[in-house]
Amino acid sequence: MSFDNILGQDRPKQILNKALRSGRVPNAYLFYGQESVGKKFTAIEVSKALNCKTMGPADSCDQCLSCLKIGKRIHPDLFILEPKKSSASAREAILKIDEIRELQKKLLYLPYEGNTKVAIINNAECMNLQAANSFLKTLEEPPTKTLIILIASNPHQLLPTVVSRCQRIQFYPLPSEAIKTIISHHLKSEPVESQPEEIELRSRRSMGQVAYALEENLLEVSEDREELIRLIGIISFKRMDQVFLWTKTKAKQTERILLILDELTRILRDVVLIKVAPETSLVTNKDLIKQLRTLALQKSTSALLTMFETVQNTKAAIKLNANSQLALENMLINFCEAA
Ligand SMILES: [Zn+2]
């Protein structure tokens, strides 16, 4: 029943169902795949199944005390570890060795009131080297009656020795029907007339990721999109004034830079799609098709691909703490060269 709550992700569900039904659950799983496609949600549902008083361990009722406590994250045998930022200004969150050691201590004991302890480590790739090495010992000598679930969007950043000790399950972007169901559920309180177009737009923009679909500020997004399309259209060495003006304003919006660069990625992707295939069903920003077609006529495919690659490099550099203003300026100078 509770497994039915997981939308999309048929393959992971099938693998997990089979393991739970046969009682052959490994010591550790690695759930990997894009952010916000249901990995943590599924991990919680697995925890419920393993400890459900009425339907466990194959599935869960979502109603017994154990299921309710797990749903509220207050079950004493459920441990969820998530990386934190070391300070408000830090860009990357990390999982430190102290937190791993504390978890290891808790896992030494038998389950307190359930059948199986479940330790979920979200964004496991944020373990620093020390933490990962320490955690490796737990994977090598797994505590009894314990399931460890590592969750990672960038599994290649994990130690290979950690990965090799987990059963890997890949999660995929959610199909648009699943995304639409989730959005409709969350939009229930909104006025009905605004719903169909908004649901369609949110679903198309989400790329199968729930957080995008639900949290995006569509007003902000529409301003960004128009500004970016204009910028791509006019960029050249003759308009360096615009280059510096744009970077100066954007570099200050530290919280939003990566979102804006994602937006830029989507627009460039759309323009390339329009250039190479007249059929537009894959275009994300369908409502701006006119402006995108104009850009497609102005720019060469190779220029667009160079821009696309430059944006990806800029995102990577900013994530690694590069100076935002310099990184954005560099990006736009590359745009000018490509244009
Ligand atoms: Zn239950």
Domain ranges of the chain: 2-172, 175-215, 217-338
Structure tokens at 5: 């709550």
Mean pLDDT of the chain: 91
Average pLDDT over residues 94-111: 95
CA 55 to ligand 1 center in whole angstroms: 6
In the chain, alpha helices (H): 10-22, 39-51, 65-71, 97-107, 129-140, 160-163, 176-186, 195-206, 210-215, 218-234, 240-252, 257-276, 289-298, 301-319, 324-338
Kindly report the CATH class assigned to 2-172. Answer: alpha beta
Mean pLDDT of 169-179: 94
Q: How many angstroms does the Cα of residue 57 sit away from the middle of ligand 1?
A: 9
Q: Inform me whether the pLDDT recorded for 191 exceeds 60.
A: no
Task: Categorize the per-residue pLDDT at 194 as very low, low, confident or very high, splitting at 50, 70 and 90.
Answer: low
- The DSSP symbol for 61 reads -
Rounded distance between C-alpha atoms, residue 5 and residue 186, angstroms: 14
Residues 288-312 have pLDDT tens digits of: 899 999 999 999 999 999 999 999 9
Q: How far apart are CA 63 and CA 47, in angstroms?
A: 14
Distance 180 CA to ligand 1 centre (A): 28
- Distance (Å, whole) CA 31 – CA 258: 25
CA distance 189 to 199: 14
Expressed in angstroms and rounded, the spacing between residue 37 Cα and the centre of ligand 1 is 24
Please identify every residue whose CB atom is under 5 Å from ligand 1, which is an ion: 52, 60-61, 64, 67
Question: For residue 63, how far is its CA from the centre of ligand 1 (angstroms)?
Answer: 5
Range with the poorest average pLDDT among 29-33, 43-47, 273-277, 302-306: 273-277
**Residue 192 pLDDT > 60, yes or no?**
no
CA–centroid distance, 20 to ligand 1, in Å, is 14
b/e per residue, 84-109, with b = 16+ CB within 10 A?
eeeeeeeeeeebbbebbeebeebbee
Q: How far is the CA of 110 from the centre of ligand 1 (A)?
A: 20
Find the 89 Cα to ligand 1 centroid distance in Å: 41
Task: Please give the Cα distance from 276 to 273 (Å, whole number).
Answer: 5
The CATH class, in words, for 217-338 is mainly alpha
What one-letter code names the amino acid at 208? G
| Dist. CA 84–CA 88, nearest whole Å | 10
For residue 53, report the distance from its CA to the centre of ligand 1, in Å: 5
Ligand 1 centroid to 46 CA: how many Å? 11
